Amino acid sequence: MYKALLVSSAIALSSLATTALADGAVTGAAGGAVTGAIVGGPVGAAVGGVAGAVAGAVIDPPPREVVTYVQAQPAPTAPVVIQQPIVVGKPIPADVIVTPVPDNPKYAYTVINDRHIIVEPQTHRVVQVLN
């Protein structure tokens, strides 16, 4: 039973690590596995790896240059207002128009509810909300 649990946990961990899109998830998995191994042995390593991958998948903030650029952009003349909360890691509605950041195509921005929002252009996932 112990061996089956260990093997299934290792398979789940490797599956999670290979499907992770963010480098942070893989780094988090490795760190969690080490911590889990220290605390709980082999089973703790597997469980800690999964927990670390989830925690490591948190979105890294954009570079300072991107934030500075977006903050300097004027709000559009037609304000966008949405009722749903704007949450880092969650996508904004697909019909909201986003503008690419010229020097860094990994990011785009929009202004919603009078707040500048930095997003991933392909997914519209919120990376950072600026005041």
* pLDDT score of 75: 86
Distance, in Å, from the CA atom of 55 to the CA atom of 53, rounded to the nearest integer, reads 5
Task: Report which of residues 69 and 7 the model is more confident about.
Answer: 69
Residue 34: give the domain boundaries: 2-56
Compute the C-alpha angle 112/114/120, nearest 5°.
Answer: 35
Quick one: which of 130, 131, 1 has its CA closest to 66? 130
Q: How many domains does the chain have?
A: 2
Is the domain of 72 the same as that of 125? yes
Task: Report which of residues 23 and 84 the model is more confident about.
Answer: 84
The two three-digit tokens of residue 112, written as one number: 């919603």
* pLDDT score of 47: 55
Is the domain of 36 the same as that of 90? no
Domain termination site, one of 40, 56, 72: 56
Is the domain of 49 the same as that of 68? no
Is the domain of 73 the same as that of 35? no
Q: How many CB atoms lie within 10 A of CB 53?
A: 26
Is the domain of 7 the same as that of 24? yes
Quick one: which of 62, 37, 57 has its CA closest to 47? 37
Please provide residue 61's backbone torsions phi and psi, each rounded to the nearest 5 degrees.
-65, 155
Is the domain of 20 the same as that of 49? yes
Is the domain of 124 the same as that of 87? yes
Q: Is the dihedral of CA 64, 69, 75, 80 positive or negative?
A: negative
Is the domain of 47 the same as that of 80? no
Is the domain of 74 the same as that of 125? yes
Q: What is the DSSP string of 56-80?
A: HTSPPPPPHHHHHHHHHSPPPSS-B
Q: Is the dihedral of CA 43, 49, 50, 54 positive or negative?
A: positive
* pLDDT score of 27: 44
Task: Report which of residues 77 and 7 the model is more confident about.
Answer: 77
